Structure formats: structure tokens, C-alpha cells
Amino acid sequence: MSNKKALRDSLINKDKVILEVLLKDPDVRVGTDGIVWIRRTKRPPSGGAIMNSEGFRNSVITTKNKRQLLYYKGYMLSVPRIVYAACMGELDSDKEIVHRDGVSTNNSISNLYQGSDSEGAGRSLRKFNEEQVIEIRNRRNRGDR
């Protein structure tokens, strides 16, 4: 087994353990609408987290590339993986969680499914048929935009 594969397997196992702990935590609630609520005693660093009437905060961090993460007990966890695991059960370690509509911030369970790595990465890229490619090239050659 290569060092890279061993490291990946180690990280996947650690992620599974932390995810199991998070889902059993009474201070964490996961909704089918894709929102993860955590009861916190301290205000999160961003200061702008939304709080519900029971004292739970939506403490999701959205990165520049629109990935949504949750900081929990020193670990950063993917919100789509949390929602999928909470609602659908066991995650396949060789699969990625893919958004059906291609919108990475829409984490409702009806929008998530397990797919291959390549399926998640290239899903939003547009595919053109041969006729469309020829038309695009002709327009570019004419100087059209």
C-alpha cells in the first residue's frame, strides 16, 4: 500500500469516527433541509451565526469556492456529508456527495446523492455537441462574443 493511499484511508477513518460522534451529540441537530444546528455556549468567531428559539446556532462556514464546512471539536467536516450521513446512513468512503442541481450551498437531502469522484468534480461543466462547437468557433473567428 502506498503512503498516499494509507494517509487517505487514515483520514477517511478519522472522518467517520468524528462524524459518528457529531451525529450522536445531543447538542447537534441536522435537518433534511440541509441546515446543521449546534448548541454553543460561546458566540462563534464570525459573530453572524443565526440562532433558533432553542439556542441552537447555524455555524456553517462557506469557503471562497462555496464549499460549506462545519467546525466541530477541532475538525472541519463537510456539511453535505453530515446531512447525507444523518438522513441516509452509512457513507461509502470511495464516493463523493454530489449536488443534483450543481449548487454547492443547497444541502437539502433531496438534492444530495453519492457519486464517483469524477461525477462530482465535472458535473457543472457544459457539454457541447459537434454542431455547437463548430458554430462557436465560427462566431469567435468572426469576432463575435
- Structural domains in the chain, CATH included, are 3-142 (3.90.75.20)
Show Cβ contacts of residue 124 under 8 Å, excluding neighbours closer than 6 positions.
102
pLDDT at 41 over 60: no
Position 26, amino acid: P
pLDDT: which is higher, 105 or 55: 105
pTM above 0.85, yes or no: no
Contact assessment for residue 29 and residue 36, using Cβ atoms and an 8 Å cutoff: yes
Q: Give the single-character DSSP code of 39.
A: E
- Four-CA torsion 70, 111, 19, 5, nearest 10 degrees: -100
pLDDT in the model for residue 126: 55
* Residue 121 pLDDT > 60: no
19 Cβ contact partners less than 8 Å away, ≥ 6 residues apart: 77, 81, 82, 85, 91
pLDDT band at 31 (very low <50, low <70, confident <90, very high): confident
To 5 degrees, how large is the angle CA 17–CA 45–CA 62? Answer: 65
CA 85, CA 112: separation in Å to the nearest integer? 11
CA dist., res. 120 & res. 69, Å (int): 17
pLDDT level of residue 66 (50, 70, 90 thresholds): confident
Condensed to tens digits (0 to 9), the pLDDT of residues 67-109 reads 788 888 888 888 898 999 999 887 877 788 888 888 888 899 9
